[in-house]
A and B are shown apart, each in its own frame.
Chain A
Amino acid sequence: MRKQDLFRLCLQNLLRKRSRTFLTVLGVVIGGCSIVIMVSLGIGMKEAQDKLLAQLGDLTIITVTAPQGGHGKVKLDDALVRRLNGLNGVEAVMPRQSLEVDTVRLTAGSANRYVADWVPVVGMDAAQLEPMGFRMLEGGPIAKTGDVIVGQYAAYNFRDTLRPDGANTVDRWSGGWDENGQLTDPPPAYFDPLKEKLTLELANGDYKATLVLHPVALAKEDYSKGSETSEGIILDLKDLKALAEKLHTVKKGASPYQSILVKARSLNQVADLEKQIKALGCATESMESIRKPMEEEARRKQMMLGGLGAISLVVAAIGITNTMIMSISERTKEIGVMKALGCYVRDIRQLFLAEAGVIGLMGGVVSCVISWIAALIANLAAMGGPTPDNFRLALLGGEGATRVCVTPLWLLAFAIVFSVLIGLGSGYYPADKAVRIPALEAIKSD
């Protein structure tokens, strides 16, 4: 039989018993809808969670430190940096050196009007800043000695020596913050750090050092890369090493670096990379320990939701099988006649499989349309009304969109393919029954 004829016969048979076909398709629609909606709820949950995690900082950064209590065993030095660079899945390695000195004082403004004490000052490999994913709010790269990057809120550390105590600082939190802990409207600091020259004065016992700093860029706050991006000053490692030497802060044989940041190439590689670094004898720290349980929890919830949906699809599958078996017992004679007239067994099998498959297909397509619309409505409701802007966010997502249901195209395609497979699967047994009906049935009179 030609494929077109097979398909036409199949549709004719389905249309002959309209109400029965409708009810069976309805079963598949309910099953399909529940799966799609459950899974999109799960994806929506995941999306919200990822957004939350992203606010915590760069999730691919691992902070490597010397192991507790294992002094001297592993030294955080250039040799270790080279070894870390050779590990599998490493995007960039960034040694961090801070100054352990008695006093740190930063001054700015004319006649050193603005003063900050205890500002964190670290040295980092300027060439690695970009590969590590450090983000600058404005400004350019470190080019020469004395060039520094200042933290996003570093300027708020300065007090104005010309004002009285208690009113000589700017509180950056006074503007309030939103539910995610982001400052909404911080008041301006006393000066723009990118336009001022800073003077760094350091003292370590008898040793003293002074360096004039030229801020070249303002870092974006990111705690996974260190608090300096928020409140501190980042020097090029070379400059810091020179200062450390002058001040004699590094004892002979001690680790030159306090910590080393390692960036994994992707999120999936973080756990493995962390294991490799631990194997080298170092202690590590990353967002993985927060992310992992959250992700597992999300996956558990997704599985639970998907399972609920799957139950209704199983019921739908039984419905298809039942319908097909009924249809076959009604059409026993017809099948016998078809065989007597020379219809091939494979054509009969294909005919019944096609009928079951088409039921699945129709159910799948309809359930996709319904659940897509349902998801849209749920999202619009969650966003507070059908404004054009909300429509765009509900459909495409994006920054600031809190979608309850996320229905990606692949999910819809999967739902359709899955429904067809469910149909074919449920049609398999009835089709097998059909082909075993003998041509003799055509002659039997009942």
Chain B
Amino acid sequence: MSEPTPRTRPIIEVRGLRKEYPLGDETVVALKHIDLTILRGEICCIFGTSGSGKSTLLNQLAGMEKPTRGEVRIGGAPISRMSEEQLAAFRQRHLGFVFQAYNLLPGLTATENVAMPLLFRGVPPAQRDAAAREMLRRVGLAHRLDHYPAQMSGGQQQRTGIARAFLARPDVVFADEPTGNLDSKTTVEVMEMICGFARDFHQTIVLVTHDPEMAQYADRIVTLIDGEIVRDETTKRRELQ
């Protein structure tokens, strides 16, 4: 991040993206034609009601599904055309995920859960556990290092999830309704934590939500209706910076 104005460089580029699903004999068009560029360091909120195609768009951006047509590039790499093996390697280095249902592995402790991305990379235990513990301390869970997910509250689990997503300092973190299962007080904590990390490490966040309240945390709000971008606005928050 040595460039003076990194915000102007694109990190995610979407060109002519279309996604259709077969549903019985018919074909459902989830995304019609999406062109979108997300800049490095941006906190971008993809906003829409259920059925608007926002989840499908997230899947496409993160390389979870192949598009029917069009292309997704992250940092110049065409992830929509990668093989499973290439995608796994790419995810290890460049992508992080925060899930609505936290998705911690029940058999692993908080430290082990956070260390997972480094485990997959083949980092030795001592090194990755040290990094994981440091991350857990940052999210305020220094007293929960060896607890299992079932022994933690929802907010604590989501903070563990955030620690996991940011551990490997990925370029982009995808957050899918990260506060969907949390109360309003915890929501504020979690969102501030995500945004705080993003700004500290100059990372890009793609936040998918149906909750208009979330918009206040974003630099930019992309609104989706019926598989099309109907509004793309830069918020005051960004202008303030």
Contacts and interface: CB of A to CB of B under 8 A. Distances in A.
A124 to B, nearest CB: 75
A147 interface: no
B9 interface: no
Contacts of B59: 440, 443
A195 B53 CA distance: 113
Looking at B89, B105, B124, the one whose CB has the most chain A CB atoms below 10 A away is: B105
Contacts of B85: 344-346
B108 A342 contact: no
A341 B64 contact: no
B120 A13 contact: no
Contact of A445 (B88, B97, B101, B120): B101
B64 A443 contact: yes
B107 A13 contact: yes
B95 interface: yes
A436 B100 CA distance: 23
Contacts of B92: 341-342
Contact of A340 (B62, B93, B101, B106): B62
Interface residues of A, number: 26
B211 interface: no
Residue from A13, A333, A340, A445 whose CB has the most chain B CB atoms within 10 Å:
A340
A194 interface: no
B121 A342 contact: yes
B61 to A, nearest CB: 12
Contact of A342 (B64, B65, B91, B103): B91
A345 B108 CA distance: 20
B124 A12 contact: no
A345 B121 CA distance: 13
A339 B103 contact: no
A343 interface: yes
Contacts of B76: none
Contacts of A1: 119-120, 122
Interface in B16-61: 55, 58-59
22 contacts: A5-B119, A5-B122, A5-B125, A12-B108, A16-B107, A337-B105, A338-B105, A338-B120, A340-B97, A341-B120, A342-B117, A343-B88, A344-B120, A438-B64, A438-B65, A439-B87, A442-B103, A443-B55, A443-B64, A443-B99, A443-B176, A445-B100
Interface of A: 1-2, 4-5, 12-13, 16, 333-334, 337-347, 438-440, 442-443, 445
